[in-house]
Amino acid sequence: MGFCSSAEYDDFMETSPDFDHVLVRTCIKLFKYCLDISQAEQKKRRQERRKDPLKQWELSPIDAEALKHWADYSQARNEMFARTRTLSAPWTMVRPYSKEVARIDLLKDLLMRLRYEGKDCDLVLPNPAVVLRMTRHTCRTCCRLSEVAFTWGPFEQSHYPPRQFLLPGDDRRRGRSHRATSCMP
């Protein structure tokens, strides 16, 4: 839609993982979430915004164009996941069956990942049907992004909380070594 040039897009995709690593290396807890709603839900919300005078300010010309290009945007989103997912800052998908459930489960996931005194793990364990982790499967015969597939599945209890995390330093494809570190007291 003309938000940036191809060169700017490629530069962002190339430098985003490096920026994530810089943040994580300085002991910043970085959690990347994607709230994924269906095309049908997006259409429904758009219709509601048209009818409700209190929500009409939320409408923009981009909304109508976005619905027309749903498949293109979905492909671009998947490419972004492929190019910006790192071991130190993976993506987490939240499937909002309702806005309230999605928000609560996102917060539960965030609280479950953090270490703090007095945490009640049963209370903050998110619904595994709502909060999903991304597993990347790459074609072994080629490394084209079009051959990257993703599986979204529930987090297992062992994923919480991360006592140690890997800092890839940079992307494995660039041949730099991984090192483990801990920012926990």
Q: What is the pLDDT of residue 30?
A: 93
CA distances from 144 to 73, 83, 84, 139, 141 (A): 19, 11, 15, 8, 9
Q: What is the pLDDT of residue 95?
A: 86
32-35 and 91-94 strand pairing: parallel
148-154 and 91-94 strand pairing: unpaired
Is 0.75 topped by the overall pTM?
no
CA distances from 117 to 33, 69, 106, 124, 160 (A): 24, 46, 20, 13, 14
Could you tell me the pLDDT band of residue 22, with boundaries at 50, 70 and 90?
A: very high
pLDDT digits (tens, 9 = 90+) for 74-95: 888 888 988 898 888 889 999 8
Q: Where are the domains of the chain?
A: 7-36+90-161
Could you tell me the pLDDT band of residue 33, with boundaries at 50, 70 and 90?
A: very high
Q: What is the pLDDT of residue 136?
A: 56
Could you tell me the pLDDT band of residue 104, with boundaries at 50, 70 and 90?
A: very high
Could you tell me the pLDDT band of residue 167, with boundaries at 50, 70 and 90?
A: very low
Lowest mean pLDDT among 90-99, 117-126, 148-157: 148-157
pLDDT at 152 exceeding the cut of 60: no
Average pLDDT, the chain: 76
